[in-house]
Amino acid sequence: MSAVIKDLPSGQVGSGGDEALQQVRQYWNNHIHDWKVAQSEVGSQAFFEEIEEYRFEKLNYLPRLVDFDGYRGKRVLDVGCGVGNDLARFAKGGAEVVGIDLAETSIDLARRNFRQRGLAGEFQIMNGERMDFPDDSFDLVYCHTVLHFTPHPERMVQEIHRVLRAGGHAIVMTVNRRSWLNLLHKVMKVEIDHLDAPKFHQFSAGEFRDLLSPFASVTIVAERFPVRTKVHGGLKARLYNRWFVDLFNALPRHWVRRSGHHLLAFAAKAAAAPVAAPPG
Ligand SMILES: C[S@@+](CC[C@H](N)C(=O)[O-])C[C@H]1O[C@@H](n2cnc3c(N)ncnc32)[C@H](O)[C@@H]1O
């Protein structure tokens, strides 16, 4: 099986002369997420595997909270899919998958990733704030590490809601403004990836919930607690790896739960209203 190649003309990205969107696109064309952890040749099978291993070690909550195998035969859209590693898990679980991303580098790599894994998927360069899909197109919309990097997160949420079928689900992640990592950054200038991105919004859990107001139900979970870093060096990274990670994780989770660096929303679009029975 090979990835279906179906591009939009890139003119549709950032239409309306949206300068902010063009900057976001340019940044992500040059900063593929987690790219720096990989030693192997860019685009090789080993490259994708290294990124995946790193990601699922760092985001060890993902397989616990996201039912990648639970969408067999369902249509799943990944908004801002990057190199497509999460989408590959949905595809392996039997979902019919579509990945979109503003950056052509991402889409190119996601296609190669799928081809090398022998998975089927459709990929398009597209703006998640203005998607080219009809209403009610997907059973699940997944959007991880994207919402806070787009110029208008509220537009992206509205679009995610629009393209979902009635009763469909969204899994959306963003960054918690009140996280342990933000505190460490403020106090000790610990590095946070992609702080130099043209847009980097952060939300409290309450603000995130407000943003998701189009949905009929929303559950927000705070996750992403300290794990040892492989990508940062120097004294601070050594202290962090040697002391901070174990000390933090020894604290009862319910004390620190709300400080998780990632906020994950599990949201549902309202089911279609029942058709009224004809009178008489
Ligand atoms: C940090 S990467 C995350 C990639 C992937 N979701 C992951 O978790 O590994 C952010 C991605 O979001 C994409 N992105 C940002 N704004 C976007 C938008 N408005 N529409 C589509 N993709 C967008 C970027 O191009 C980039 O590939």
Q: What is the pLDDT of residues 244-271, one digit of tens each?
A: 899 999 999 999 999 999 999 999 999 9
62 close to ligand 1 (CB < 6 Angstrom): no
* Residues 6 or more apart whose Cβ sits within 8 Å of residue 21: 13, 14, 102, 127, 129, 150, 151
Q: Which of 62, 89, 56, 90 is nearest to 76 (CA)?
A: 90
Q: Give me the residues paired with residue 176 across strands.
A: 203
pLDDT of 10 reads 39
| In contact, 202 and 243? CB cutoff 8 Å | no
Evaluate if residue 78 carries a pLDDT over 50. Answer: yes
| In contact, 214 and 255? CB cutoff 8 Å | no
pLDDT of 242 reads 87
28 close to ligand 1 (CB < 6 Angstrom): yes
CA of 81 to the centre of ligand 1 (A): 6
Q: What number is the average pLDDT over the span 212-237?
A: 91
* Residues 6 or more apart whose Cβ sits within 8 Å of residue 278: none
159 close to ligand 1 (CB < 6 Angstrom): no
> What's the whole-number average pLDDT of the chain?
90
Domains of the chain: which residue ranges?
A: 4-226+258-268
Largest Cα–Cα separation, the chain: 79
**DSSP summary character for residue 176:** B
Angle between helices 85-92 and 104-117 (to 10 degrees): 40
**Rounded to an integer, what distance in angstroms lies between the CA atom of residue 126 and that of residue 78?**
11
* 4-226+258-268, CATH topology level: Rossmann fold (3.40.50)
Evaluate if residue 68 carries a pLDDT over 90. Answer: yes
Q: Which of 153, 128, 154, 151 is nearest to 141 (CA)?
A: 128
Q: What number is the average pLDDT over the span 44-60?
A: 94
Q: Give me the residues paired with residue 175 across strands.
A: 262
